[in-house]
């Protein structure tokens, strides 16, 4: 049962990442009109570095695809970890209105990391 729940959550998590990454290239999701000024400033700052948003998008797409499949889930989690750190910190310090969603997504990521902890041991030894 635990494996089915983790597989379902990993699939949803992966699809969210793929969607977020693809949106950075194709801009198909509308930007909310009620964004606070700090969020707008942060996005403008990220946009100043021409290669940064495409790099984040590629990491989200690659990580999302890898997280969906159990065999590559551990690698996918490592790829998206820095991106998700940025998401969490943004919601903590800039726009706390969606902090609950960020915490839920982080809980899924931490469960994936914990479930694959044996695969990470050679990295830290």
Q: At what angle do helices 73-93 and 99-115 cross, to 10 degrees?
A: 150
pLDDT for res 32: 87
pLDDT for res 34: 86
d(CA 45, CA 53) in angstroms, rounded, equals: 10
pLDDT in tens, 72-119: 999 999 999 999 999 999 999 999 999 999 999 999 999 999 999 999
Give the SS3 label for residue 95. Answer: coil
33 has pLDDT over 90: no
d(CA 17, CA 60) in angstroms, rounded, equals: 5
- H or E element in which residue 71 lies: none
What are the strands, taking DSSP E only, across the chain? none
Is residue 22 within 8 Å of residue 61, measured between CB atoms? Answer: yes
57 compared with 32, residue with greater pLDDT:
57
Query: What residues does each domain of the chain span?
Result: 2-26+35-124
Rounded to two decimals, the pTM is: 0.94
Is residue 102 within 8 Å of residue 85, measured between CB atoms? Answer: no
pLDDT in tens, 55-81: 999 999 999 999 999 999 999 999 999
pLDDT for res 94: 94
């Amino acid at each position: 049962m635990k494996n089915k729940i983790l597989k379902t959550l990993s699939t949803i998590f992966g699809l969210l990442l793929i969607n977020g990454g693809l949106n950075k290239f194709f801009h198909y999701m509308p930007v909310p009109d009620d964004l606070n000024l700090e969020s707008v400033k942060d996005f403008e700052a990220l946009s100043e570095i021409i290669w940064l948003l495409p790099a984040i998008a590629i990491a989200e797409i690659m990580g999302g695809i890898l997280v969906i499949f159990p065999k590559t889930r551990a690698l996918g989690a490592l790829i998206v970890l820095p991106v998700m750190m940025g998401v969490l910190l943004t919601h903590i310090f800039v726009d706390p209105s969606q902090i609950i969603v960020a915490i839920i997504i982080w809980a899924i990521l931490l469960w994936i990391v914990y479930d694959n902890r044996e695969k990470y041991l050679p990295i830290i030894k």
